[in-house]
Amino acid sequence: AQSVTQPDIHITVSEGASLELRCNYSYGATPYLFWYVQSPGQGLQLLLKYFSGDTLVQGIKGFEAEFKRSQSSFNLRKPSVHWSDAAEYFCAVDLKAAGNKLTFGGGTRVLVKP
């Protein structure tokens, strides 16, 4: 069965430092890939998505992600973290099958130290 793994449950980073969140998926073909952010008490907001083409995608809030087919990974990065980036981040895949089912990873909670 397909799955999405986010190996890091929690990450603590200092404000101004770089951030990288890992995401791996298991599926034979290349799915559609997404990163969502959930701020405390809020719904999910789409940060960026990858469907095809350039494997480095830019998103909102200064985030980017790189798709690596050989590693079945779609890691999220930000060069300089702001305190407002403290949130939970979810990687999700859409297998392009009928039903548009998003399969989510377990999430990574990011804490930002002053």
Q: Rule CB under 8 A: which residues touch another protein?
A: 4, 6, 9, 32, 34, 36, 42-46, 49, 51, 90, 92, 94, 96, 98-107
Contact, 32 vs 96, CB < 8 A? Answer: yes
Q: Which is nearer to another protein, 95 or 112 (CB)?
A: 95
Q: Is 25 exposed, middle or buried (0-12, 13-18, 19+ CB in 10 A)?
A: buried
Q: Which is nearer to another protein, 50 or 72 (CB)?
A: 50
Who contacts 111 (Cβ-Cβ below 8 Å, separation ≥6)? 10, 11, 12, 13, 86
Q: Which is nearer to another protein, 44 or 86 (CB)?
A: 44
Instruction: Tell me the closest approach of the beta carbon of residue 52 to another protein, in angstroms.
Output: 11
Instruction: Tell me the closest approach of the beta carbon of residue 110 to another protein, in angstroms.
Output: 15
